[in-house]
Structure formats: structure tokens, C-alpha cells
Chains A and B, each alone.
Chain A
């Protein structure tokens, strides 16, 4: 039963991943052992995941699922990779809502908040490096577009979808 196999495989990928590229090794292993994707396709899907909205996990599940067993395969794989969020994370949400006022949880959350901000800063810096200095060569177009996007958001309070579309248009115009 290929649907069940896909579902269980992607559930496993979901439970063993902690965000971003950390799931690549598990995806690699699962896809190659089942023969669902080639090494070449795995490389491509990572590039595609970078290009398209949504996370690597969902994108990979959809791609591998459809390639293996059509649209229904894509649906079961995507649901599989969502199982941890809909179970563990939901339980955590219920737990936190009940104990929000306890001193332990308040202390825990208030000390985790700055850690989380630090991690978001790290993401911003990593993205700056990979977009502005791809392969350590300076990409001035990206810097110009980023500055323009920041200005549009700050000065004209444009919504994020609009900013993204304007930036895509700028990319078409000035990137060579």
C-alpha cells in the first residue's frame, strides 16, 4: 500500500526534523531507500523549496508524493509531514494555555523569548550572506532591492505580499 508507506515515511520525517535543512538527511535516507526519488531529484527539490513559498518539508512531501503516486500520494504525504504539528504541538498549546499563569511557565517563556529573538537574528544574518554575497561575490542588485523593499514597508506601510511582488518585478528588471 504505497499511500500508507508515503504517509508513514513523511510522518517519520516530520517527527525527526527541527526546521529547515536539518530534515534533508532524513529525507535523503527515506527517499533513496524506497526508491521514490533519485539523488539528482533530491538536489532539485531543495532548490525548488528555496524558490517557492512554503517550507522544505511540505514542498518535498508534495513533490515526492505526486511523483510516486499522483495527487492523492501528494495529499497523504503532506498530511503525514503535518502529523507532529497537529499532535505534539497541539498538546503543547493546550498545556501552555492551562498553565500560563504558573510561575514556572512564565519564567520559562520570558527567558526563552530573547533566545528566540537571537535565533531570528541569526536567520536574518545567514539570509543576508546567502543573498547579498552568494558564493562570496557581491550581488549589488539584491542589496538595492532589499533596501527598496525595506523603504517601501517602512515609509508607505505596504503589505508584505505587495512588497514581495514589487521585489520580483525589480528582480526581473535589474538582475542580469
Chain B
């Protein structure tokens, strides 16, 4: 599946590339208004739109995208959209996606900055936000359920996932470091496994 997408990218005509850049810009602009919960809900939206509806990428590729985005500095959701945009149509699409996702927060914050006092102490705003924040929990859980099969393929996967969960909940180790250590440990273990198979 990923191989097919790659060849597609190389064959894209400039007009097709531009069309895709617009499409990505508008998609990310649209979901940008609903990225509550530190941006995690966009992962759920991306699995729905691009994995299930358009079949542009696999759950595995999306996981890779999220892992890389978390282990590099910068804002996670912007990293995520840059990675995804690039894989869909090169640098142009990467920029289109990044601008698309950043623009809604910019517009909303512009209004909030000017209407700050009205916004901050409004009881109705606070009540609606309790609802919005509560909804983010099942949204993220739905993303986890969709990505589960792509990530947990064997016992090693379960062990790595549980260790990462525990480290993240009960220690102050940064997420980037957890991913880095997990990656190194994984490469070493799989390397040993390949060597055994070759013998």
C-alpha cells in the first residue's frame, strides 16, 4: 500500500499537485477548528478521512507519522500535517497542510485576544467547554481502537506499548525520549531476531 502511494506521488502532474495542495489545505483548515485536547483529535479525524474514506494511507503509515511528529521538536499537530502533506504531494502539499491547520487557531485567537475579558469569565462558555473537553476523551479512544491493529502485531508490541504507557503516566521522562529509547531497543531486538532467522 505505501509503495503504491509513493509511485503515485512521483507521477503527479503539476496541476494535480496543486489540486491536492488545495484539498489538503481545506481539509486541515476544516479540522483545525476542532483540534481540542492538544491536537490529539486530529489523529481520529485523519484515520476517518484519509485511511477509511479516501484510502490514501494505511493506519501503519499514520502511526509512523505520529511517532515521528512526537519525537521531533515543534508543535505536534503541525509536524503531523507537514509529514502527511509531504507524503501526499511533496513540499508544496506539506506547506499547504501546515498553513491549513495553523490558520483556524490563529483566527480564533485573534478574536479571543480582542474580546478577552468577555470570553474569559463567561459562565456559558465555561459550561459548553466542559462538554467539549469531555467529548475529546471518546474521540481519542476511537483513534486508539482504530490504530490498535496497526501497532500491536505481536507480544513485543504489547510489552512496548505497556512500558511506554507506564513510563509516561508515572515518571517525568519526556515523550521524545521514550520514543527514542523504544526505537533503539526495538531495532536491537529485531536485529537479533533477523540474525537468528538467517542462521
Q: Answer yes or no: do A and B interact.
A: yes
* A62/B36 contact (C-beta < 8 A), A112-B64, A121-B165 known: no
Q: Which residues of B contact A93 (CB under 8 A)?
A: 68, 82-83, 86-87, 94
Q: Is the CB of B138 within 8 A of A111?
A: no
User: Does B112 count as interface, using CB distance less than 8 angstroms?
Assistant: yes
* Beta-carbon nearest neighbor of B39 in chain A: A55
Interface residue tally on A, bucketed by range: 35 or more
Q: Which residues of B contact A104 (CB under 8 A)?
A: 187
Number of contacts between A and B (CB, 8 Å)? 353
User: Does A175 count as interface, using CB distance less than 8 angstroms?
Assistant: yes
- Give Cα distance in the complex from A98 to B16, angstroms: 22
- Give Cα distance in the complex from A133 to B152, angstroms: 30
User: Does B190 count as interface, using CB distance less than 8 angstroms?
Assistant: yes
User: Does B74 count as interface, using CB distance less than 8 angstroms?
Assistant: yes
**Residues in A109-167 with C-beta less than 8 Å from chain B:** 109-128, 131-132, 139, 141-143, 145-147, 149-150, 153-154, 159-161, 163-164, 166-167
Q: Is the CB of B113 within 8 A of A53?
A: no
User: Does A22 count as interface, using CB distance less than 8 angstroms?
Assistant: yes
* A171/B127 contact (C-beta < 8 A), A112-B186, A160-B48 known: yes
* The residue from A16, A67, A124, A146 contacting B113, defined by CB atoms under 8 A apart: A67
Q: Which residues of B contact A119 (CB under 8 A)?
A: 70, 164-165, 168, 175, 178-179
Which of A1-9, A27-35, A79-87 binds B?
A79-87
- Give Cα distance in the complex from A103 to B191, angstroms: 9
* The residue from B129, B134, B190 contacting A143, defined by CB atoms under 8 A apart: B134
Some 5 contacts from A to B, beta carbons below 8 A apart, are A55-B39, A85-B75, A92-B68, A161-B34, A171-B129
- Give Cα distance in the complex from A53 to B125, angstroms: 14
Q: Is the CB of B142 within 8 A of A153?
A: yes
Q: Which residues of A contact B133 (CB under 8 A)?
A: 50, 127, 131, 142
**Residues in A1-53 with C-beta less than 8 Å from chain B:** 14-20, 22, 44, 47-48, 50-53
* Interface-centre pick from A75, A88, A171 (highest chain B CB count, 10 A): A171
- Give Cα distance in the complex from A110 to B83, angstroms: 17
* Beta-carbon nearest neighbor of B189 in chain A: A111
* A51/B125 contact (C-beta < 8 A), A14-B75, A115-B164 known: yes
**Residues in A50-80 with C-beta less than 8 Å from chain B:** 50-59, 62-63, 66-67, 71, 74-75, 78
* Beta-carbon nearest neighbor of B108 in chain A: A52
- Say whether chain B's binding surface is mostly helix, strand, loop, or mixed: helix
Q: Which residues of B contact A118 (CB under 8 A)?
A: 160-165, 168
Q: Which residues of B contact A141 (CB under 8 A)?
A: 130, 134
Additional A-B contacts beyond A53-B33, A115-B67, A171-B128 (11; CB < 8 A)? A14-B73, A55-B78, A63-B109, A85-B72, A111-B186, A111-B190, A112-B71, A120-B40, A124-B137, A124-B144, A160-B41
- Give Cα distance in the complex from A139 to B134, angstroms: 10
- Give Cα distance in the complex from A126 to B133, angstroms: 12
Q: Is the CB of B138 within 8 A of A122?
A: no
User: Does B95 count as interface, using CB distance less than 8 angstroms?
Assistant: yes
- Give Cα distance in the complex from A168 to B36, angstroms: 12
Q: Which residues of A contact B185 (CB under 8 A)?
A: 111
Q: Which residues of B contact A97 (CB under 8 A)?
A: 6, 86-87
